[in-house]
Structure 1
Amino acid sequence: MTLKPFAPIACLLALPGLGLANEKTVYGLNEYARLKDLDLEVAAKLDTGAKTASLSARDIKRFKKDGETWVRFYLAIDDAHEHPIERPLARISKIKRRAGDFNPEEGKTYTARPVIELEVCMGRALRQIEVNLTDRSAFQYPLLIGSEALKRFDAQIDPSLKYAAGKPACTTDANSDE
């Protein structure tokens, strides 16, 4: 008896199993995020239309520490922190200005924002992401998570859901690259 006719059928039956390795986590339009480095939990807006993540900060100053450029800032989140936070500067991000935000006298079509790296937990996933610092106190959510960070979370966004991942439940030994 030959098994050749069964080989294509066996391959077809195995195809659904291949998709299991690439399962994406479904998140809602809004999720709770734990900023592990800052020991703070905040509500976040997940925005596939934004490229970068943004954290609400004020009094943002760059300074030198051991020959490296660092950033000192205060969180602009309901008096979350009264003390300054200091983190190494990862890079400067150029954020496109909206039409209402453009000042023709300045001539710049972008805003330069400092970027830091933070460990963020959503659901059970702990990832290190880049976050730019800007004052978001006029917005409902102090943290906006854009598409670059969402890729790191293997996120699939369902805008009809809110807080689908529940409260952050990352363990301290979670690998941030998985």
Structure 2
Amino acid sequence: MRRILIALSLLFTFTASHASNVEIQHVFGWIENATLEPWGVKVKSKLDTGALTSSLHARNIERFEKDGEEWVRFEVNVEDQDEDEKVSRKFERPLYRDVIIRGAGGEERRPVVLMEICFGDTVHEEQFSLENRSDMIYPVLIGRRTIQHLGVVDVTNTFMHEPQCDEDSPVEKFDKDNTDEDVGV
């Protein structure tokens, strides 16, 4: 019994000292509004802790070469939550990498680009795989690689933060060295 009490005492001491060193993080609901930057269109985003890489609804995805590098041209068609109307915009971004998605139907290779998205009052440059998500409820899916930079997800809540970014908002540029590429794996 004495050993159990000593072990519990040490456990509580370690937990209390560790908790005081943990940085306070933002808490987000499992569904949040965000804005795609620099476009500024407000979209519903699903924060999915089961997904590793974030995904953005895109159509007419086309790879091309520019200045000796591989780029991706694509069109984003989403419903603007502020205007309650469908909006569309074409983008061109350097290819960051390819991701292989494995599912029941086999493997699929998708392009990944860096895009800026606003959560709360901060713009985050993050990795997004491009895919046609027209059959999905949410045009933007936020995976763990992005969530690790946002904070924590409260699965019992939705819409805890409205995007409020402007030209003076801080921009968290993607930093591969400060990212756990296999977070949670």
Give me the TM-score of the superposition, normalised by structure 2: 0.75
Q: Is 1:176–2:178 an aligned residue pair?
A: no
Total equivalences in the alignment: 154
Aligned to 2:41: 40
Identity %: 35
Could you tell me how far apart the structure 2 residues matched to 1:175 and 1:33 are?
Answer: 14
| Cα 1:17–1:52 shift into 2, 3 Å | closer
Amino acid in structure 1 at the alignment position of 2:99: S
1:131-142 pair list within 5 angstroms: 131-142=128-139
| Residue of 77, 95, 114 corresponding to 1:117 | 114
> After superposition, what is the alpha-carbon deviation per residue over 1:86-105, rounded to whole angstroms, capped at 9, x for unaligned?
111111111121x2xx1xxx
> After superposition, what is the alpha-carbon deviation per residue over 1:42-74, rounded to whole angstroms, capped at 9, x for unaligned?
110000000000000011000011111111111
The structural deviation recorded for 1:77 is: 2.0
Secondary structure at the aligned position of 1:84 is classed as strand
Q: Is this contact kept in 2: 1:76–1:136, CA < 8 A?
A: no
| Cα 1:16–1:171 shift into 2, 3 Å | farther
Aligned to 2:145: 148
Secondary structure at the aligned position of 1:60 is classed as strand
Aligned to 2:87: 80
Could you tell me how far apart the structure 1 residues matched to 2:50 and 2:78 are?
Answer: 23
Q: Is this contact kept in 1: 2:35–2:117, CA < 8 A?
A: yes
Q: Is this contact kept in 1: 2:54–2:127, CA < 8 A?
A: yes
Secondary structure at the aligned position of 2:147 is classed as helix
Q: Is 1:63–2:64 an aligned residue pair?
A: yes
Amino acid in structure 2 at the alignment position of 1:90: Y
* Structure whose CA Rg is larger: 1
Secondary structure at the aligned position of 2:164 is classed as coil
The structural deviation recorded for 1:16 is: 8.5
Structure 2 residue runs without a partner (length 5+) = 1-12, 80-85, 179-185
Secondary structure at the aligned position of 1:95 is classed as strand
The structural deviation recorded for 1:22 is: 0.6
The structural deviation recorded for 1:15 is: 4.6
Q: Is this contact kept in 1: 2:114–2:126, CA < 8 A?
A: yes
| Residue of 96, 100, 104 corresponding to 1:94 | 100
Aligned to 2:9: none
Could you tell me how far apart the structure 2 residues matched to 1:96 and 1:34 are?
Answer: 29
Q: Is this contact kept in 1: 2:56–2:140, CA < 8 A?
A: yes
The structural deviation recorded for 1:110 is: 2.0
Structure 1 segments of 4+ aligned residues over 3 angstroms from their partners: 14-19
The structural deviation recorded for 1:171 is: 4.0
Amino acid in structure 1 at the alignment position of 2:167: T
Aligned to 2:5: none
Give me the TM-score of the superposition, normalised by structure 1: 0.77
